[in-house]
Chain A
């Protein structure tokens, strides 16, 4: 397009103004990108994937949920007792064990939160880990670590960043002084590092180690069981193939008389997250319907302001272009083009830049609610940048460009004699 060079050169007429407009656009597009990433991430987490549903079994009336481990065996079968009952295809139990390396002082630098589980479930049930491609190096190293953890019950797998924060590496041994299992302090050996950014701050241990420690507590205390002995299972996850089997398994479990004290409930993972997020409903509503639109409007105004100043300064120039034979539509294209060029380029640079910095350099943004430790900017952000930058530039420059193309030559050059 022959006009493109003209448009580009016009932007350099007032470098400072163009740069400020561009900087403003970048900041606002960056914020929009973050807001939309968060909203999209949460929407995705609360939307059911139709196949392969994870059902979450938890205590019905108490938060946090603490069920007896004795429930595990029958829950894993989906409480199936009759031949026509549906059984889950896979399962895992969750036990949260937290503690610090220093018994007297807890700081961010010395605490560990571990999921105690059957090690092999890391490979089939953990979100993100169950989808690692079979021949990827991450998958291979996870398989090795899991095999070690099955053999050595006293092992622990640490997330990358947690290991760095604790200054521990594979082979190190240390004692965890627990704060949710009083007097159950476990000595562990680091057997491996958990792959994927998602588990950077997590840790995983063999559930048998904790259960064994609680048993020996009873022996050492003359048959008096530990306070937490009947509360060692926080959650059970069951994998079911589709919504129909989910409904059936949920009905089987909730109708079963085995789970009376305490009673249990069954939810899908996303329903669980939805319930959790209800507490934040107002905040999320505000982000979606107030913050994001307010930013878009501000952005359009920033651009409208810059473009209308520049149009006003250039009345004569537009009149000259008309004398040369530029049609109103072509003048409009020149003005809109300036705004679009600045908006689209800044938008893409900003959104693409945040994608790059957040995902590639920072490795995600910590988002400390619900289960998810970090979230990423989707690759769609490149399109958001283009659309937000271009769309707001178009809206903001529409009226100024209309003014520019309506310039009346005879009035601009009229001199009152």
Chain B
């Protein structure tokens, strides 16, 4: 579905990602793990076309850029943004239309469907800035699902959530994956990654491990991350 070949990313001479090669297959639940600053977000952004890889290539197999959903790493930028949940979620559809288009009935139906699926239909009129952390993540996931047909890329979707909300998030993702959605998720939560993901990509600028999650536990890479304070 997605193939990365020798992708490197650098910021004005500082290299963040080096020579990363891996594939995402349809139906995968790929968890990307690694310490802070190991280049996970940069790799994801280069796949999404937000930053240009300095070398290497990302190719998509029958998948346009408007068919990928994205849940960005949490920032404080939108903390205070005046927007209703409905406005946020439907903006996931904006990229599918021409530059001057309005939303259609099918866009609205898609929004309803995803709000239902994530259990936040009752929040649609609420303001995004009044939501709790977990509700915000769901709203942003709903937006990603409005954009995605078959693939979602999630940058630390459970970071900052309490264990209850995190496990609800995992349940939602598991359900999506079962329904055929391919998931690429960056995570700090090793237990969650091993339990739900079918593949692991462990990064430290380069790829330390890429393969099935049940093979990962025995490797040096796994021990390295866990010894260094990963969960």
Bound pair (A, B): no
